[in-house]
Amino acid sequence: MSDRPSTAILDRLSAIVGPSGLVTGEELRSRPAAWTRPAEPCAALALVRPRDTEETSRVMTACAEASVTIVPRGGATGLVDGILCAPDQITLSTERMTTIEPADPLAMTMVAGSGATIEAVQDAARNAGLFFPLDLGARGSATVGGTISTNAGGLRVLRYGMMRDIVLGLEAVLADGTVVSSMRPLIKNNTGLDLKQLFLGTEGTLGIVTRAVLRLRPEPVGYATALVGCPGVDEGARLLRAAQAAFQGRVSSFEGLWPDFYRLMTKPGRATPPLKPDYAFYAIIEMECLPEETDRFVDVLDRLMGEGTVLDAALASSEDQRQAMWRIRDRVENMNADGLVRAFDVSVPLDRMDGYVRGALARLNAIPDCRAVVYGHIGDNNLHWNTTRLDAAGNAAIDAAIYEPLAELKGSVSAEHGIGLEKRGKLPLSRSPAELATMRLVKRALDPDNRLNPGKIF
Amino acid sequence: MSDRPSTAILDRLSAIVGPSGLVTGEELRSRPAAWTRPAEPCAALALVRPRDTEETSRVMTACAEASVTIVPRGGATGLVDGILCAPDQITLSTERMTTIEPADPLAMTMVAGSGATIEAVQDAARNAGLFFPLDLGARGSATVGGTISTNAGGLRVLRYGMMRDIVLGLEAVLADGTVVSSMRPLIKNNTGLDLKQLFLGTEGTLGIVTRAVLRLRPEPVGYATALVGCPGVDEGARLLRAAQAAFQGRVSSFEGLWPDFYRLMTKPGRATPPLKPDYAFYAIIEMECLPEETDRFVDVLDRLMGEGTVLDAALASSEDQRQAMWRIRDRVENMNADGLVRAFDVSVPLDRMDGYVRGALARLNAIPDCRAVVYGHIGDNNLHWNTTRLDAAGNAAIDAAIYEPLAELKGSVSAEHGIGLEKRGKLPLSRSPAELATMRLVKRALDPDNRLNPGKIF
């Protein structure tokens, strides 16, 4: 790329967003390329920070006319290199589009700019006496636009769904600068293709989200939380079903912990194990309920213990105990400390999970020097693996053990993280040639010159 | 159209689906053109009934090669003329694709053919000890494929969502015969564009759905139901919010009844009015809860009566009383008997509903000889109007009073019925030129020759 066109596009972008809206040089290099590459500087030609939808549209038009491609950038906490840039690309950050309009207490909705963080949205909802249910570890950095583009899941999917279920409407800018505004705060709106779905989970390849209408909920009134030991994951699934029935769908989390994961997280100095270390399967189950409903939860556990579905259970009797229980699930740094540094995010239908985990563990254990643990939001079909890092051949064998069985089991190579650059090679295990071809038809229709996040997903 | 090509395509279709799979002549004319036109015979060249996805694909390929266009037909209970045919079109009925596979009790999912009725799916779920939540009056005829194509709503949207929220995966045939199979029974699956969204609510214009994976729920344990009188719809919305908070999201219905509707439905001989006829707003509120939770519901009502948000309330104390309360909402034949035969289905954000209804009623009341009532699933933003039928000018004035304010209020000209042919002219009130252009981009990408349900929606 010659100097001249790049100078011309930078001048033009600067004229649109103002000098403070364009970041280049050392200031740009001080930003990481991606969350997974903290020491690698962002390689883009420039970072452009439009203030609103209209400036975003003008930036897109300018880039289209200059034949420059665009990589959208949200909170930069994604896990699949979806924001990685080449030196001839412009990265468009939503960081100045942070406006959060006051929540509407009757309609229980809120309008937020795509650059607002999840934490800021949660706080604004709470200040209005309401509740924004999406939650994830990166809440302080992850943005509305980023979580839309990746259809983020997180900690409360079982009860409240993913970002797709929370976004009522949105505004997006297409590759040619067209503004598609679908900002209606409606639960019901059957007027043809639901356009917001084009931008949910497509990782910025079809448009740049600038604003969204979000659905809020009443604040939870309290929790009942238990750690249980079961003979296997199928018995865990039966506990989940019994609890959903007894509490009419108010189970908010159901996290499966296989024994090697449980033992790793409860090593001396890490956490006091509430249960014996030798059950075949553990689960943390939490439901949203009033304090007086805890007795009913105990009844469910007693009944299932009587029939052998649950072998033992520890109920959190205080918020401190609840937090301690959750730390057994959440302290991922314990895995890093034990050398289990490669993380995987897959999904498997619940009725096939037992066979999948057994088969994959057998293959993993047969790989020399490989260690692996498995856990996850299994109520949402979501499993996470953490494994040791080996040489290239060893890592490929680990990948094969974890990913290859998924195609046959109707699982997914990405439950919640997305595809980005990292999982492109695995996508055909989860998507048929006809599905990929149909996705490409839509991509070509909306972005015929492949200007938006080219090379990501496909 | 000459005889020769039509004979050729009929022979070819008959070879694909067998002679019993092709319906023509008197047998075809005995079928109605649409639910709204019971006396008008189906005008299509032929009705073709493939037995499975593969036959559907071969039918589509044959029609593409013969340049014949296709109108998909489900249970033929739609309300917007979405299945109306021209004499040179083939209508493709899903009526032989009725297979329902056994529900999976662990994963709580079920696979059903697109021709299976909603009632058959409900029954199959119940037989497995589970619950299929979508419900609507036409349950005995409406099909899985039809409710996907229209993104049907119905009676339990507030709690369980619309068909979009119930379908985990589906299989569809594109205009060129390509089979796009996305039948994974997964809650989480972030692997690019969520292809099923292309076929949900697009009324058969992008593909023909042949099968689907459905998400099931635990069966409800019981109900608490009340009819309340309020000073206005805003107070009704406050009751809804208080009940959602107290019952953690388990309100399953919140139906608003404005006074003229309430008085019409409780005329002597129709229903005994549980409350005085002169409140400004009535609501039926129902939640899924255990019998012992009714006290908490009474506490909520008492508190809101103390502050004037609720003026009076009648609680159903038996299943008979509950059914009687629901008949005040559901006996739509009472409106027809009173000459209120034109039905409308719109949506309006809850915080703007009071102003919208007041404004529209003032305009309607100013039209000579016009009478109108209004009610609806207002917890889902959904309002239904029923009005008298006048002459063309009068009907146009009624349409204007009901539809025109929606654009400004970010409402929708169709909450749940869809667009079909009937509402095409109103679509620009709910969708901007950029939104319509984007929908057309996707339509052209998937069906470049406009073979699938041409003329519907757009």
Query: Do B194 and A179 lie within an 8 Å CB cutoff?
Result: no
Sequence-separated (6 or more) residues with CB below 8 Å from residue A321: none
Sequence-separated (6 or more) residues with CB below 8 Å from residue B227: B274, B275, B282, B283, B284, B313, B314, B325, B328
Nearest to A442 among B186, B217, B442 (CB): B442
Distance CA B411, CA B404 (A): 10
With residues binned 3-state (H G I as helix, E B as strand, rest as coil), the percentages for chain B, rounded to 5, are 40, 20, 40
The residue assigned the tokens 């000098």 is A19
**Which residues of chain A does B248 touch, with a Cβ-Cβ cutoff of 8 Å?**
218, 220-221, 250, 288-289
**Cβ–Cβ contact A442 with B under 8 A:** yes
B10-24 as b/e: b if 16+ CB within 10 A: bebbbebbeeebbbb
B349-378 as b/e: b if 16+ CB within 10 A: bbbbbbebbeebbebbeebeebebbbbbbb
- What is the residue type of A243? A
- A276 — phi, psi (to 5°)? -55, 155
Q: What is the pLDDT of residue B2?
A: 44
- Output the average pLDDT for chain B: 96
Query: Do B438 and A288 lie within an 8 Å CB cutoff?
Result: no
The residue assigned the tokens 């092709």 is B22
Q: What is the pLDDT of residue A155?
A: 85
Residue-wise pLDDT for A220-265, tens only, equals: 989 999 999 999 999 999 999 999 999 999 999 999 999 999 999 9
**Which residues of chain B does A431 touch, with a Cβ-Cβ cutoff of 8 Å?**
191-192
**Cβ–Cβ contact A138 with B under 8 A:** no
Residue-wise pLDDT for B28-86, tens only, equals: 999 999 998 999 999 999 999 999 999 999 999 999 999 999 999 999 999 999 999 99
Query: Nearest C-alpha of chain A: how many angstroms from B193?
Result: 5
Question: Beta A90-93 vs A46-48: how paired, if at all?
Answer: parallel
Cβ atoms A160, A166 nearer than 8 A? yes
Length of chain B: 458
The residue assigned the tokens 């989200």 is A209
Lowest mean pLDDT among A291-300, A395-404, B307-316: A291-300
Cβ atoms A91, A44 nearer than 8 A? yes
Q: Which two tokens stand for residue B267?
A: 């005329």
CA nearest neighbour of B106 among A352, A229, A376: A352
Task: Read off the pLDDT of each residue in A121-134 and give the average, rounded to a whole number.
Answer: 97
Distance CA B278, CA B230 (A): 10
Residue-wise pLDDT for B192-232, tens only, equals: 999 999 999 999 999 999 999 999 999 998 999 999 999 99
Cβ under 8 Å to A: B residues 152-171? 153, 157-158, 161-162, 164-165
**Which residues of chain A does B167 touch, with a Cβ-Cβ cutoff of 8 Å?**
none
| Cα separation values, B250 from A218, A254, B320, Å | 11, 20, 22
Cβ atoms B281, B229 nearer than 8 A? yes
Cβ under 8 Å to B: A residues 402-431? 410-419, 427, 430-431
| Cα separation values, A161 from A156, A231, A269, B375, Å | 7, 29, 35, 29
Query: Do A190 and B164 lie within an 8 Å CB cutoff?
Result: no
How many Å from the N-terminal Cα to the C-terminal Cα in chain B?
24
Question: Beta A312-315 vs A223-230: how paired, if at all?
Answer: antiparallel
**Which residues of chain A does B184 touch, with a Cβ-Cβ cutoff of 8 Å?**
349, 410-412, 430
Query: Do B250 and A249 lie within an 8 Å CB cutoff?
Result: yes
Structure confidence at residue B6 as a pLDDT band (50, 70, 90): confident
**Which residues of chain A does B195 touch, with a Cβ-Cβ cutoff of 8 Å?**
435, 438-439
> What is the CATH code of the structural domain delimited by B333-416?
3.30.70.2740
From its phi and psi, is residue B453 left (phi > 0), alpha (psi between -120 and 50) or beta? left
Q: What is the pLDDT of residue A7?
A: 86
Is the pLDDT score of A204 beyond 90? yes
Per-domain residue ranges of chain A:
3-93, 109-215, 223-330, 333-434
**Which residues of chain B does A350 touch, with a Cβ-Cβ cutoff of 8 Å?**
106-108
- What is the residue type of B113? G
**Which residues of chain B does A249 touch, with a Cβ-Cβ cutoff of 8 Å?**
217-218, 250
Could you confirm whether domain B3-93 is CATH 3.10.150.10? no
Residue-wise pLDDT for B146-175, tens only, equals: 999 999 998 899 999 999 999 999 999 999
Q: What is the pLDDT of residue B5?
A: 63
| B-interface mutation test, from A180, A183, A189, A353, most B Cβ less than 10 A away | A189
Query: Nearest C-alpha of chain B: how many angstroms from A361?
Result: 22
| Cα separation values, A213 from A104, A127, A205, B166, B365, Å | 11, 17, 21, 22, 34
**Cβ–Cβ contact B350 with A under 8 A:** yes
- A432 — phi, psi (to 5°)? -75, 165
Query: Do B190 and A414 lie within an 8 Å CB cutoff?
Result: yes
Distance CA A128, CA A371 (A): 47
Query: Do B347 and A108 lie within an 8 Å CB cutoff?
Result: no
Is the pLDDT score of A383 beyond 90? yes
Q: What is the pLDDT of residue B195?
A: 98
Distance CA A353, CA A377 (A): 12
- Same fold across B223-330 and B333-416: yes
Is the pLDDT score of A356 beyond 80? yes
Q: Which two tokens stand for residue B407?
A: 């654009």
**Cβ–Cβ contact B349 with A under 8 A:** yes
Residue-wise pLDDT for B249-303, tens only, equals: 999 999 999 999 999 999 999 999 999 999 999 999 999 999 889 999 999 999 9
Task: Read off the pLDDT of each residue in A139-167 and give the average, rounded to a whole number.
Answer: 96
Is the pLDDT score of A6 beyond 90? no
CA nearest neighbour of B134 among B116, B146, B149, B147: B147
**Which residues of chain A does B180 touch, with a Cβ-Cβ cutoff of 8 Å?**
432, 434-435, 438
Question: Beta A90-93 vs A70-73: how paired, if at all?
Answer: parallel
CA nearest neighbour of B342 among B376, B379, B370, B365: B370
Instruction: Show contacts of B130-134: CB within 8 Å, 24+ apart.
Output: B130/B103, B130/B105, B130/B216, B130/B217, B130/B218, B130/B219, B131/B216, B131/B217, B131/B218, B131/B219, B131/B220, B132/B166, B132/B214, B132/B216, B132/B217, B133/B159, B133/B160, B133/B166, B133/B217, B134/B160, B134/B162, B134/B163, B134/B166
Is the pLDDT score of A1 beyond 50? no
A109-215: which CATH topology? 3.30.465
> Does the structure's ipTM exceed the value 0.90?
yes
**Cβ–Cβ contact B271 with A under 8 A:** no
Q: Which two tokens stand for residue B321?
A: 């009383």
Cβ under 8 Å to A: B residues 329-348? 347
Structure confidence at residue A2 as a pLDDT band (50, 70, 90): very low
**Cβ–Cβ contact B183 with A under 8 A:** yes
| Cα separation values, B266 from B272, B277, B416, Å | 6, 9, 26
CA nearest neighbour of A244 among A158, A171, A174: A158
Query: Nearest C-alpha of chain A: how many angstroms from B73?
Result: 17
Structure confidence at residue B4 as a pLDDT band (50, 70, 90): low
Query: Nearest C-alpha of chain B: how many angstroms from A5?
Result: 30
Please give the full DSSP string across A158-221, using - where no structure is assigned. Answer: HHH--HHHHEEEEEEE-TTS-EEEE----S---SSS-GGGGTSSSTTSS-EEEEEEEE-BPPP-
Cβ pairs bridging A and B (under 8 Å): 276
Minimal-distance CA residue of chain A relative to B292: A293
Is the pLDDT score of A5 beyond 70? no
Q: What is the pLDDT of residue B332?
A: 87
Please give the full DSSP string across A13-28, using - where no structure is assigned. Answer: HHHHH-GGGEE-HHHH
Sign for the CA dihedral angle at B428, B431, B435, B436 comes to negative
The residue assigned the tokens 């305009």 is B363
**Which residues of chain B does A444 touch, with a Cβ-Cβ cutoff of 8 Å?**
445
For chain A, what percent of residues have pLDDT higher than 90? 96
The runs of H, that is alpha helices, within B255-350 are 259-265, 294-306, 319-330, 333-337
From its phi and psi, is residue A447 left (phi > 0), alpha (psi between -120 and 50) or beta? beta
> What is the CATH code of the structural domain delimited by B223-330?
3.30.70.2190
Task: Read off the pLDDT of each residue in B336-360 and give the average, rounded to a whole number.
Answer: 96
A333-434: which CATH topology? Alpha-Beta Plaits (3.30.70)
Nearest to A218 among B194, B241, B415 (CB): B241
| Cα separation values, A138 from A32, A385, B416, Å | 16, 19, 37
Query: Do A218 and B415 lie within an 8 Å CB cutoff?
Result: no
Cβ atoms B154, B201 nearer than 8 A? no
**Cβ–Cβ contact A351 with B under 8 A:** yes
The residue assigned the tokens 């949105």 is A170
Is the pLDDT score of B186 beyond 60? yes
